[in-house]
Structure 1
Amino acid sequence: MSRLHSAVGLATAVLLGGALLPSALAEPAESSPIDYSLRVNAGGETTSIPDTMHGVFFEDINDAADGGIYAELVRNRSFEYDTVDNPSYTPMTGWSTTSVGGAEGSAEVIDDAQRLNENNRRYLRLRPNAHGRAAYGVTNAGYHSGMSLERGEKYDFSIWARSDQPGGTPLTVTATDGSGSPVGRTMRIRVRGDQWTEYTKTFVAHSDTDTGGLRVLGHGSGTLRLDMVSLFPRDTFKGEPNGLREDLARKIEALNPGFLRFPGGCLVNTGSHESYQAPDWERRRSYQWKDTVGPVEQRPTNANFWGYNQSYGLGFYEYFRFAENIGAMPLPVVPALVTGCGENEATHDPQLLRRHIQDTLDLIQFANGSVDTEWGAKRAAMGHPEPFGLTHLAVGNEENLPEDFYEHFEKFRDAIEQRYPGITVVANSGPDDSGAVFDRAWELAREQDAEMVDEHYYNNPQWFLENNRRYDSYDRSGPKVSLTEYASEGNRFYNALVEASFMTGLERNADVVRMSSYAPLLAHEDDPQWTPDMIWFDNHRSWGSASYEVQKLFGNNVGDEVVPSEASSTPVEEKPISGAVGLSTWNTSAAYDDVRVTSADGETLLADDFSGDASKWSGLTGTGDWSIQDGAYVQSDASVQNTMVTAGDKSWSDYDLHLTATKRAGSEGFLVAFGVEGTDDYYWWNLGGWNNTRSAVQKTTAGSSQTVLSKDTTIETGREYDIRVEVRGRKVTLFLDGEKWGSFTDEQNAEPFRQVVTRDEKTGELIVKVVNAQDNRARTRLDIDGAPRLANTARLTTLQGDPQAVNTAESRPIKPEKSVIRGVDENFSHTFPANSITVMRIRTQGN
């Protein structure tokens, strides 16, 4: 997961100027149908599809683990929250003191030699002064709005406690609703002895609440020490102890995923790579698997990269069990000691590197070793003597330093291949779909004969329509691709449509693309750090987005082999890049001067040396502090983003834009725009972007941008740069200080009609998947050659609707519809609805 965000684009599609451009204003309407043809060569050469074609990627982002799929209801159960996790946290976050019957007392979180263990350092020291019916203690409010408790369901309570009283100290524990009224019987415990002991109880809820809490009260006097206060629903997924929330796990299982990648993401390659050390417990560490196994009360907590605490209650053992329970191949990710996600540092400590390599070897032993091995025995002690059957392991995640990463990757892979030659070690290509890092990473992957390279990208809808054939040209003899993070920027049905279109290309290239997964997987509605997301939830409900419905449709209709097919394309009208010009900054102050725009035949369209006023320019975004200073147009505010001002005419095409620019202060460089058609539709040359680490040309459509061209160019403060942009038709050439910087031709066709055909070997069915991502119906003639006799009926599953529709907790406008069509033959016609995804399953003779 990359931390780079771009605006989320909307929704419906209109045919315009050689491309399908999203338009928030377009009303979905079924206009005249467009005629297509779809030819299937059922007797042609096929390509096998791996079981891992479509899978899931889990990262603890958006409260996906604690407060999410991990079923624990108590927040901060071990009193380990701290400002290092979040500036608003304290050790008592989630807790409040509670007095009943006028009792007095004190509740204080302590870190001293009386602690539960060295990893779980803090505990609650409770000193009640409560006699008779009085009691004093604490109440936990759970996550967000409160605990969700359901009438008739069982809940398991546990606590570690000790008392300094000779006869012990009574505890009463009650689950309550938002008003403090009990929703289950009060559980009574007598804490005996001044040694840590675990106490457990179970109750049945007698009423429903979504704002519940857990009240833990001490009676009498003396000192109680409490830790690891836990409340779990008995009904976890597959009945697993320390298990997962049933509804969320079931939704993931319903995707029929071929693999489960875990635990991240930016969790893996950020923070310190040192071991967990109790005296230094406040340091944020990268996610290291050994911290997350063994008895839950002995696992440390950690500061999550996404700004909150993670308990490690959901650890590597639980991930392996989840993968096993849903029939998915486990794909763990380990740190490569090269940070990413904006940190971009490499660790050059050979001893630390050797330790992490050994940890990775130990992980494979934990997953696959016999009970006679050290780590296989630890797995067995946790309840799983049989091996998990690990076959793939990923090293690193989105590293932006390819030289350092591949230096480390080679050492990891060599050690793994020597000890465990059957394990596929997955490398990666950084955080983007293209650019200097991407290109160099792939070059190094080929030099090192990497078996598989992980790609990640989040792009606008247009990109997904334009890149359906991205993998057609990949080297069939080179490393295979695992695409384990991708999404279109938005959660509308239109985003799901373009993702489905792209997925047909993934399946058609199944000989190269061996794994793919949408990301992120889960998001709590009350605390998303990232959007879009596949499955949304609150404390008691969950719902799948439109993208979830697409992933489920494809995951359950993959097929075993790709059958050759070809579809006609949509006619389009070619149109040159056209639009006004613009100047902008991003967290930077810059001065622009001597702006000149001339047509291809030399006519001056715009000339401004800023010796007068700035009347030729208007603020497109309405931000920034623009003024004329010393004969230049200066944006002075270095704290605002996208300050674009524009000049000229939207009809301009075939022109040269020439200017000078000087960075005065701030973290980035210059943004020089061309082809500006409006606030949400333009190109710009981003010089010194991404905190002045690289430069790129970006194309923004409906407010969502994609990178067209990228280089490592950075910008110096105080230096004047000569900038020229030459636009000819759909080709753009860029010059920096008189030297050609790069060029591109924007001729990608955003084809709305895409298909893939596969075969289910078990049923003998041909599976025809067709995506029609436009407002026009697709009247299609299907010709199926080389197949045994076809059944005259076909089963259809269709997703269709308003491209701007969004699935929510209250409404699910995008859901599958099943039907049967008749008249199927070697040659027949079918009209695919506007804005639809259709899976057509056709039986062949003898099946």
Structure 2
Amino acid sequence: MTSIRPRLVLALAAALVGTLLAAPTRADGTPAADPVDHTLTVHPGRAGPAIDRTMYGVFFEDINNAADGGLYAELVRNRSFEFSTTDNRAYTPLTAWRETSHGGATGTVRVVDDAHRLNERNRAHARLDLSGGGAPGSGYGLVNTGHGPGVALRAGARYDFSVWARTDQRRGTRLTARLQDAAGAALSEPLTLTVRGDRWAKYTGTLTARAAASGARLAVTAQGTGVLRLDMVSLFPRDTYKGRPGGLRKDLAEKIAALRPGFLRFPGGCLVNTGSHQAYEAPNWERARSYQWKDTIGPVEQRAVNANFWGYHQSYGLGYYEYFQFAEDIGAMPLPVVPALVTGCGQNRVTDDPALLRRHIQDTLDLIEFANGPVTSPWGRKRAEMGHPRPFGLTHLAVGNEENLPDAYFERFQQFRAAIEAKHPDVTVVGNSGPDDSGTTFDRLWRLNRDAGVAMVDEHYYNGPQWFLENNERYDAYDRGGPDVFLGEYASRGDRFSNALAEAAFMTGLERNADVVKMASYAPLLADVGENQWRPDMIWFDSTRSWGSTSYEVQKLFMNNTGDRVVPSEATGTPQSAAPITGAVGLSTWATSAAYDDVRVTGADGTTLLADDFSAGDGRWTRAAGRGTWSVRDGALVQSDETAQDTLVTAGDPSWHDYDLRVKATKKAGSEGFLVAFGVRDTGNLHWWNLGGWNNTRSAVEKAVDGAKETLVEDTTTVETGRTYDLHVQVRGRQVTLYVDGQRWGGFTDDNRAEPFRQVVTRDAATGELVVKVVNAQAAPARTRIDLGADPASGTARATTLSAAPDAVNTADDQPVRPVASTVTGVARTFTHTFPPHSVTFLRIATR
């Protein structure tokens, strides 16, 4: 064997190390993918559509505890003792309160609704029967635990305390308020007030925090004997947004304002058109009602309360006046939504009461007067009395939200519209297209809106990131002569950076179609990290901190760099192969008991891949723990739990493609029908045929990618209990055809391309810059030859980049997705720039 000299060995080793060091690597040290080449060509001489100031905005709904305990800065939870089981089965009138005493004082407390109530709308209050006793300075009363982990305090900060009280003691009752920690140690000097007289009066004072705390308490105690009544016990930070007393939590409001939204849509969402549409009435004051604006204005102690659709209590301290004021403060157009008396959000009920409909239409006319009327008008005077004599300048108003009964909704919408346009022709009345991006309800409502000449239609959809990558061209083919689009609610299902990247790619398509897509708002806006009902969300918070999600950073980047006009441009895409739909098969149910039998899977050439009549048991099927109750009964595979959801069992080979799946299905009991899956790679990546879904109101084929589903095709088929159906799924490449009892039910071709490289270019009139916006959602760098079509004013560009691992998530303690500013050199009429993998990059380039 030939020997190698030591010097040569060292030289080879050094060369190898140098090669490894020179090779591009990811942050985790693994080799990076080779760059993918793209071109981007800009046509600055061509005229693209103008972009309205209201292109991007925000939508606030009281979901995820977004109002009380969130944007509304009140620190006391259940301040007026109105919590009840109507709000939440776990609630009592003393939720968030507990008795306290010191110095040996005694007494009892109960919440009552009697003739001594504060007013007809604020009925419940705390009655303290004081027994006296104890040493001088002793007291008996209540402690409030606040929202979440407790009352959040900043050291040295001042807090405004107030309470409505009355006493039967002629000499008055001494009342003390103080801040304390969970163990009772004082966190402020006591505030002492004397309650006098047996009529309600408001008592106020200031508490100053000695130290910072996230789990503080507010203690309110009284000394002596007799009956003391308390209501509207309140504690607000003095430092609210814009310094308004009883106002908004500063850090949350500032994060919303930093988006520079063009509009503010409020108050919902599902709050608007769910629950009873009746007005507040004393005998039914605890009933859940739709959000009605007149309940939410005037002095806060006189406002109604309500059971929030999302399962908690709603105080209405944050009401219509505050929404209008906040919109004005952040420079956003107000866009209120009123109920159309057809419920949405899965309730699907029609209120058939002409008198009630007329009342709601008049309420809507009154709302416009409240926003825009002169101080000499009845509702304009009310606005002025609340502190805003100048009109708010309302120009748009939406009627309804996600109604799934299109004809009933539209009949009522037209009555609202006619009344509004007759009296206020300058107000744009916005319709909607139901709860999804496609389907029979969507198609029907768009047809009705278009035929009636409605100015603007509100679309809503929540889909997986794959859908957003596949649907960048959604609005390219929309009718330019039809209604404008208001995309009032959208988000990809998740909080990871991959979700934000997919949304960013989709937003380039929104801007490119700014002549038809006039407004768009991500949803939901706010979420309490400790108690929430929905993900994803844009801004998260706890009692002391708030932070933007990855989607917040994308929204902020687009909203702060929108531009005034689209500059036409095009880019080359990413090479992709059209692989066939591949995967095993599956059976499932949703809140339903069903039996499946005679499962047969055959290849396109007739080869039998699976044949199971369950005579030998269910050993060929794989199930996950806790997914329903499956057993073989009477020769069929039966799922018997009528409450279980997504009970998927699977069989076969994940490599199967081009096959026919046949199965006999019988609904035995429950609220829905059948779920027959194909192309199953795992429980989060599959297609399934949902027959009799959505409480047996419609059927659809859904596609799940990483657990997020989108609808590919649907109709109104329902399922009968006890009837056996012969179901047949034919898969050929990416084309699928479905049959029920030998008759074609429907079909589709799943061939939308999930293009990861997207771009749009706009012009900023104020600076004269081109804003080149590029989304690179692939794992490889995008080496891009850019032709600006004009000479740059200099050889540099200002860049802002969001770049992170696709599974990155922003949390309270770590925000890996943040904008990074830099300067790009070498900019010329034609130049090459490499966009990082998994990134959003905005280049601002001044041109001659």
Q: Distance in 1 between matches of 2:761 and 2:152?
A: 44
Given that residues 167 and 226 in structure 2 are in contact (C-alpha distance below 8 angstroms), is that contact kept between their aligned partners in structure 1? yes
Aligned equivalent of 2:6 = none
**Are residue 84 (structure 1) and residue 57 (structure 2) matched?**
no
Deviation at residue 380 of structure 1 after TM alignment: 0.2
Aligned equivalent of 1:677 = 681
Q: Distance in 1 between matches of 2:31 and 2:360?
A: 57
Aligned equivalent of 1:409 = 413
Given that residues 665 and 726 in structure 2 are in contact (C-alpha distance below 8 angstroms), is that contact kept between their aligned partners in structure 1? yes
Given that residues 57 and 264 in structure 2 are in contact (C-alpha distance below 8 angstroms), is that contact kept between their aligned partners in structure 1? yes
Q: SS in structure 2 opposite 1:268? A: helix
Corresponding residue to 2:125 among 123, 128, 133: 123
Q: Distance in 2 between matches of 1:337 and 1:65?
A: 24
Corresponding residue to 1:367 among 365, 371, 374: 371
Given that residues 400 and 437 in structure 1 are in contact (C-alpha distance below 8 angstroms), is that contact kept between their aligned partners in structure 2? yes
Q: Distance in 1 between matches of 2:834 and 2:745?
A: 47
Q: Distance in 1 between matches of 2:652 and 2:609?
A: 8
Q: SS in structure 2 opposite 1:247? A: helix
Query: Letter of the aligned partner of 1:137 in structure 2?
Result: G
Deviation at residue 672 of structure 1 after TM alignment: 1.1
Aligned equivalent of 1:19 = none
Q: Distance in 2 between matches of 1:629 and 1:63?
A: 46
Given that residues 681 and 703 in structure 1 are in contact (C-alpha distance below 8 angstroms), is that contact kept between their aligned partners in structure 2? yes
Given that residues 772 and 842 in structure 2 are in contact (C-alpha distance below 8 angstroms), is that contact kept between their aligned partners in structure 1? yes
Query: Letter of the aligned partner of 1:436 in structure 2?
Result: T
Deviation at residue 353 of structure 1 after TM alignment: 0.2
**Are residue 316 (structure 1) and residue 338 (structure 2) matched?**
no
**Are residue 553 (structure 1) and residue 545 (structure 2) matched?**
no
Q: Distance in 1 between matches of 2:528 and 2:630?
A: 40
Aligned equivalent of 1:219 = 223
Q: Distance in 2 between matches of 1:203 and 1:715?
A: 63
**Are residue 660 (structure 1) and residue 639 (structure 2) matched?**
no
Deviation at residue 66 of structure 1 after TM alignment: 0.4
Q: Distance in 2 between matches of 1:642 and 1:290?
A: 42
Aligned equivalent of 2:140 = 136
**Are residue 815 (structure 1) and residue 847 (structure 2) matched?**
no
Aligned equivalent of 2:274 = 270
Aligned equivalent of 2:807 = 804
Aligned equivalent of 2:522 = 518
Corresponding residue to 2:772 among 762, 768, 787: 768
1:356-389 per-position Cα deviation (integer Å, ceiling 9, x unaligned): 0000000000000000000000000000000000
5 Å-filtered alignment, 1:31-50, equals 31-50=33-52
Q: Distance in 1 between matches of 2:387 and 2:233?
A: 23
Deviation at residue 788 of structure 1 after TM alignment: 5.8
5 Å-filtered alignment, 1:479-518, equals 479-518=483-522
Aligned equivalent of 1:841 = 844
Aligned equivalent of 1:830 = 833
Shift of the 461–789 alpha-carbon distance from structure 1 to 2, 3 Å rule, reads closer
Q: Which runs of 4+ in 1 moved over 6 A?
A: 26-29
Q: SS in structure 1 opposite 2:34? A: strand
Aligned equivalent of 1:160 = 164
Q: Distance in 1 between matches of 2:209 and 2:598?
A: 74
Q: Distance in 2 between matches of 1:812 and 1:231?
A: 31
Deviation at residue 649 of structure 1 after TM alignment: 2.2
**Are residue 733 (structure 1) and residue 737 (structure 2) matched?**
yes
Shift of the 35–613 alpha-carbon distance from structure 1 to 2, 3 Å rule, reads same
Deviation at residue 611 of structure 1 after TM alignment: 3.6
User: What runs of 5+ residues in structure 1 fail to find an aligned partner?
Assistant: 1-25
Moved more, 815-824 or 197-206: 197-206
Shift of the 621–721 alpha-carbon distance from structure 1 to 2, 3 Å rule, reads farther
Q: SS in structure 1 opposite 2:443? A: helix
Corresponding residue to 1:63 among 62, 65, 90: 65
- After TM superposition, the score normalised by the length of structure 2 is 0.95
Q: Distance in 2 between matches of 1:203 and 1:430?
A: 49
Query: Letter of the aligned partner of 1:790 in structure 2?
Result: A
**Are residue 247 (structure 1) and residue 251 (structure 2) matched?**
yes
Deviation at residue 784 of structure 1 after TM alignment: 1.3
Shift of the 605–369 alpha-carbon distance from structure 1 to 2, 3 Å rule, reads same
Moved more, 129-138 or 215-224: 129-138
Q: SS in structure 1 opposite 2:650? A: strand
Aligned equivalent of 1:105 = 107
Shift of the 29–225 alpha-carbon distance from structure 1 to 2, 3 Å rule, reads farther
Aligned equivalent of 2:470 = 466
Q: Distance in 2 between matches of 1:295 and 1:679?
A: 52
Given that residues 666 and 724 in structure 2 are in contact (C-alpha distance below 8 angstroms), is that contact kept between their aligned partners in structure 1? yes
5 Å-filtered alignment, 1:283-362, equals 283-362=287-366
5 Å-filtered alignment, 1:722-761, equals 722-761=726-765
Query: Letter of the aligned partner of 1:703 in structure 2?
Result: G
Q: Distance in 2 between matches of 1:622 and 1:317?
A: 48
Q: Distance in 2 between matches of 1:547 and 1:525?
A: 16
Aligned equivalent of 2:596 = 592
Query: Letter of the aligned partner of 1:829 in structure 2?
Result: T
Moved more, 196-205 or 117-126: 196-205
Query: Letter of the aligned partner of 1:802 in structure 2?
Result: A
Corresponding residue to 1:645 among 643, 646, 649: 649
Q: SS in structure 1 opposite 2:272? A: coil
Aligned equivalent of 2:53 = 51
Moved more, 667-676 or 637-646: 637-646
Moved more, 530-539 or 173-182: 173-182
Deviation at residue 622 of structure 1 after TM alignment: 6.5
Shift of the 368–433 alpha-carbon distance from structure 1 to 2, 3 Å rule, reads same
Q: Distance in 2 between matches of 1:36 and 1:790?
A: 24
Shift of the 398–113 alpha-carbon distance from structure 1 to 2, 3 Å rule, reads same
Q: SS in structure 2 opposite 1:532? A: coil
Shift of the 603–367 alpha-carbon distance from structure 1 to 2, 3 Å rule, reads same
Query: Letter of the aligned partner of 1:32 in structure 2?
Result: D
Q: Distance in 1 between matches of 2:395 and 2:560?
A: 23
1:724-770 per-position Cα deviation (integer Å, ceiling 9, x unaligned): 11111111111112221111001100000000100000100000110
Q: Distance in 2 between matches of 1:138 and 1:416?
A: 49
Aligned equivalent of 1:72 = 74
Deviation at residue 494 of structure 1 after TM alignment: 0.8
Q: Distance in 1 between matches of 2:694 and 2:806?
A: 32
Given that residues 174 and 187 in structure 1 are in contact (C-alpha distance below 8 angstroms), is that contact kept between their aligned partners in structure 2? yes
Aligned equivalent of 1:782 = 786
